[in-house]
């Protein structure tokens, strides 16, 4: 009976749900809000919409494709470590994207590094 009580005790675990909700909201929000940046990036870098859409395609590919790898890493190490590491990598990618001088750099910084969650 003690095992059953331990399994159903969820007191003190709300921060995990809140953190997971926040990470998912920010990650998906960043992925879906690229349209806001689209016009400004087009003006800044004087490139076609095709080149900018490729950045978004890379971002979506890595966001969805890295999930099974992240899950395996989370099972092997800990989900907290994987989410924290992904958050740091995403932060680095966004900061590097703000200093990008060309669209080619954005392919790497925003398209690849940012969505390694």
34 in a domain, yes or no? Answer: yes
2 in a domain, yes or no? Answer: no
11 in a domain, yes or no? Answer: no
pLDDT tens per residue, range 9-52: 555 566 666 666 766 676 677 777 778 888 888 888 888 888 88
51 in a domain, yes or no? Answer: yes
Residue pair 87/117 in contact by the 8 Å Cβ criterion: yes
Measured in degrees and rounded to the nearest 5, phi and psi for residue 48 equal -75, 165
Q: What angle do CA 103, 88, 17 make, to 5 degrees?
A: 120
Measured in degrees and rounded to the nearest 5, phi and psi for residue 77 equal -100, -95
pLDDT at 49: 85
pLDDT tens per residue, range 43-88: 888 888 888 888 888 888 888 888 888 889 989 998 888 888 888 8
1 in a domain, yes or no? Answer: no
5 in a domain, yes or no? Answer: no
Buried b (16+ CB within 10 A) or exposed e, 73-82: beeeeeeeeb
pLDDT at 14: 60
Boundaries of domain holding 81: 16-113
Domain count along the chain: 1
**2, pLDDT greater than 70:** no
């Amino acid at each position: 009976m003690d095992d059953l009580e331990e399994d159903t005790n969820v007191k003190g675990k709300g921060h995990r749900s809140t953190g997971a909700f926040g990470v998912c909201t920010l990650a998906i929000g960043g992925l879906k809000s690229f349209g806001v940046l689209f016009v400004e990036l087009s003006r800044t870098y004087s490139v076609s919409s095709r080149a900018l859409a490729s950045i978004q395609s890379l971002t979506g590919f890595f966001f969805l494709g890295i999930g099974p790898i992240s899950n395996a890493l989370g099972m092997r190490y800990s989900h907290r470590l994987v989410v924290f590491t992904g958050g740091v990598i995403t932060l680095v990618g966004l900061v590097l994207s703000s200093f990008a001088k060309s669209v080619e750099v954005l392919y790497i910084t925003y398209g690849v590094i940012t969505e390694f969650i």
